[in-house]
Amino acid sequence: MLECITPGLLATLQDTGRFGMQSFGVGTAGAMDVFALRVANALLGNADDAPALELTLGGAEFRASEPAWYALAGADLGASLDGVDVPMCAPFRMAAGQRLRLPSARRGHRAVLAVSGGFDAAVVSGSSATDLRAGFGGFGGRALMRGDRLRLLCPREPSGLPSRVFTSLAHPALASQAPLLLLPGPALEQLSREDRNRLLGEDFTVSRASDRMGLRLEQALASAAAIPQVLSASVAFGTLQLPPDGRGIILAADRQTTGGYPVAGVVASIDHGRLAQLRPGDVLRFRLSEIGEARAAWRARERQLSQLRIAAAAWWKEV
């Protein structure tokens, strides 16, 4: 088991998300940075969707009651094991009684802590993702609290040396600062020319009102107020909505299943992990993209992840 000494700002059990249920009003939930989740699981030879812990901005501490291998990806929370620094994006072993401390985010917003074999989590509609609003999945449908004890499904001891497996994938210190790729939506052409130029050329600041449901932007596009309201339609991670006040909302993992605000575009999936790592006060930019460009970037990164899986599997003697 892994005992939660303190969960920090927010700690939940998540997987890649709950799909195929939006038509019934059930959201996807899941990790904000799904790619970081996949990287952490790949390092340990787990399936992509093995349940892992999503940790927010640090302040967390855990104690192991049994030996197991773990991996961290996503935000760098300054992790240490009994006072010794823990590397990002590389497997490390926790012995019984050891404490893992994640005091504060050096860079990024959310880290993923995976364990070999995955955490034992409640499965609802085919997923272990914690839906905080509906109160199901994960650890009793809620965020972790002091004293909670997480069961490990089937921790394994490798016969190789998995600590030698390392990747720069999903490491925030190497994250691109390039504009986010934005696939155009129907409301983009309904903005004034001035506001279109602003949206695709100026900086936008992430508001303090942002959370797992969406990232709110501080700067307003005045012409959004003149765009006619639309019928509610399904929405995806990365959807850029324009409410009447003109302050855009980029929908995220805990988004509602449908939305009625005009849609200026959708941030391409290649950049969803970067969205997850943005903190209030951070600045972002958009660049208009086409599906072909976004798909090519996604395929290139998937090839890198496939190579990581092969390398990790070799250390875990699974090839």
Residue 257 lies in a domain: yes
Residues 45 and 24 in one domain: yes
Residues 21 and 162 in one domain: yes
CATH of the domain at 197: 2.40.100.10
Q: What is the pLDDT along the chain (319 residues), one digit of tens a residue?
A: 999 999 999 999 999 999 988 888 888 999 999 999 999 999 999 999 999 999 999 999 999 999 999 999 999 999 999 999 999 999 999 999 999 999 999 999 999 999 999 999 999 999 999 999 999 999 999 999 999 999 998 777 666 655 567 788 888 766 668 899 999 999 999 999 999 999 999 999 999 999 999 999 999 999 999 998 888 888 999 999 999 999 999 999 999 999 989 999 999 999 999 999 999 999 999 999 999 999 999 999 999 999 999 888 877 765 3
Structural domain harbouring 207? 180-288
Pairwise CA distance, residues 161 & 9, whole Å: 34
Angle at 73 between CA 54 and CA 76, to 5 degrees: 90
Task: Report CA-CA distances (Å) from 270 to 49, 74, 171, 257.
Answer: 18, 14, 15, 21
Residues 115 and 241 in one domain: no
The pLDDT tens digits of the residues spanning 57-107 come to 999 999 999 999 999 999 999 999 999 999 999 999 999 999 999 999 999
Answer yes or no: are the C-beta atoms of 289 and 183 closer than 8 Å: yes
Residues 121 and 167 in one domain: yes
The pLDDT tens digits of the residues spanning 98-150 come to 999 999 999 999 999 999 999 999 999 999 999 999 999 999 999 999 999 99
Residue 43 lies in a domain: yes
DSSP state of 136: B
Report the predicted TM-score, pTM, of the whole model to 2 decimal places. 0.95
Residues 149 and 256 in one domain: no
3-state secondary structure at position 281: coil
Residues 238 and 162 in one domain: no
Residue 161 lies in a domain: yes
Residues 203 and 135 in one domain: no
pLDDT of residue 286: 98
Residue 307 lies in a domain: no
Give the end of a domain, one of 147, 174, 201: 174
Answer yes or no: are the C-beta atoms of 183 and 266 closer than 8 Å: yes
C-alpha of 157 from chain center: 27
Pairwise CA distance, residues 70 & 100, whole Å: 10
Query: Which residue intervals of 154-280 are DSSP H helices?
Result: 193-199, 272-276
Select from 274, 276, 271, 270 the least CA-distant residue to 255. Answer: 276
Report the half-sphere exposure of 303 (CA within 13 A, side-chain side).
Answer: 5
Residues 162 and 92 in one domain: yes
Residue 2: phi and psi, rounded to 5, are -120, 120
Specify the number of domains making up the chain. 2
Answer yes or no: are the C-beta atoms of 159 and 169 closer than 8 Å: no
Q: What are the tokens at 106? A: 């050096």
Residue 110 lies in a domain: yes
Q: Give residues with Cβ within 8 angstroms of 84, minimum separation 6.
A: none
Residues 240 and 221 in one domain: yes
Residues 139 and 36 in one domain: yes
Select from 170, 152, 153, 143 the least CA-distant residue to 13. Answer: 143
Angle at 56 between CA 288 and CA 30, to 5 degrees: 65
Residue 304 lies in a domain: no
Give the orientation angle of helix 34-43 with respect to helix 291-315, to 10 degrees: 20
Residues 221 and 117 in one domain: no
Residues 188 and 164 in one domain: no
pLDDT of residue 165: 72
Give the end of a domain, one of 133, 158, 174: 174
Residue 305 lies in a domain: no
Give the end of a domain, one of 157, 174, 191: 174
Select from 257, 278, 302, 286 the least CA-distant residue to 57. Answer: 278
Pairwise CA distance, residues 65 & 215, whole Å: 37
User: 63: which strand partners?
Assistant: 3, 99
Q: Give residues with Cβ within 8 angstroms of 179, minimum separation 6.
A: 284, 285, 286, 287
Select from 145, 64, 72 the least CA-distant residue to 106. Answer: 72
Residue 216 lies in a domain: yes
Place of tokens 């996949």: 38
Percent share of the chain, pLDDT over 90: 83
DSSP state of 224: G
